[in-house]
């Protein structure tokens, strides 16, 4: 059978930009959980923005040195999200690493490749959630070593968060964090909460705590914040600010 191949001539001008805001999400290549949590919350709440993921290299174990080293790859990781296109917001999703690398260094690294984008990290989102919900005293539960946990606590305290108790699990591999049973997370939260705390914060984007917030709150009788919930909430607030 013979046929003629014809060229279609475009009549419409290509749109130069998206009609909806765009969010780039940088996730550790070892993280089993963040994307799952994010997509679930996005599907439930249906916010007015589009999102795009990219993975960044991380080499376990979780030490101050290995977590700090992630900062060296942030420029390349953000550049790989829709290359040569602007984004409205780029988010670095790792609680411990972002607290160690620091807000200014993260913003500078990301804006080197996405200069017009606003920048957010998980640690910044956590602090914003505390302030936004009026929590003045918090308990903190982390899966990290005490050395890493202390650096995260330092970050919170420097940003005005009063910590009344802290508990750590001393895990070295973030992939193992994602395998913690939900019952274990609830037990740990019950052990970590302090009577004087307004709320508990459960750290790590790899921990599957966001999906069981209601169960934890019922078990401890106090509000619960998690890394992935806090990040999602702050993204929504920042995008709403862009739309107003």
Please check whether the two domains, 22-121+230-243 and 125-227, share a CATH topology: yes
Per-residue pLDDT band at 16 (split at 50, 70, 90): low
Residue 230, token pair as written in the block:
């806090």
CATH class of 125-227: alpha beta
Q: Where do the domains of the chain lie? A: 22-121+230-243, 125-227
Per-residue pLDDT band at 17 (split at 50, 70, 90): low
Provide CB contacts within 8 A for 174, sequence distance 6+: 28, 30, 31, 58, 60, 62, 143, 204, 206
pLDDT of 13 > 80? The answer is: no
Which CATH architecture does the domain made up of 22-121+230-243 adopt? 3-Layer(aba) Sandwich (3.40)
What does the pLDDT average to over 71-96? Answer: 97
pTM of structure:
0.93
């Amino acid at each position: 059978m013979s046929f003629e191949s014809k060229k279609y001539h475009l009549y419409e001008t290509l749109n130069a930009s998206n009609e909806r805001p765009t969010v780039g999400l940088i996730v550790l290549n070892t993280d089993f959980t963040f994307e799952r949590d994010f997509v679930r919350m996005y599907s439930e709440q249906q916010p007015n923005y589009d999102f795009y993921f990219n993975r960044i290299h991380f080499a376990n174990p979780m030490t101050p040195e290995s977590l700090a080293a992630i900062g060296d790859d942030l420029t390349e990781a953000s550049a790989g999200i829709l290359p040569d296109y602007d984004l409205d917001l780029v988010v670095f999703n790792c609680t411990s690493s972002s607290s160690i690398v620091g807000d200014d260094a993260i913003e500078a690294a990301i804006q080197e490749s996405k200069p017009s984008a606003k920048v957010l990290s998980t640690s910044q989102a956590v602090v914003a959630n505390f302030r936004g919900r009026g929590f003045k005293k918090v308990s903190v539960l982390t899966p990290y070593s005490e050395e890493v946990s202390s650096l995260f606590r330092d970050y919170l305290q420097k940003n005005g968060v009063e910590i009344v108790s802290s508990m750590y699990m001393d895990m070295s591999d973030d992939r193992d964090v994602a395998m913690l049973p939900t019952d274990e997370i609830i037990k740990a939260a019950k052990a970590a909460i302090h009577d004087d705390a307004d709320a508990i914060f459960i750290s790590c984007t790899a921990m599957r705590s966001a999906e069981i917030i209601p169960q934890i709150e019922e078990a401890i009788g106090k509000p619960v914040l998690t890394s992935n919930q806090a990040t999602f909430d702050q993204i929504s607030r920042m995008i709403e600010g862009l739309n107003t």
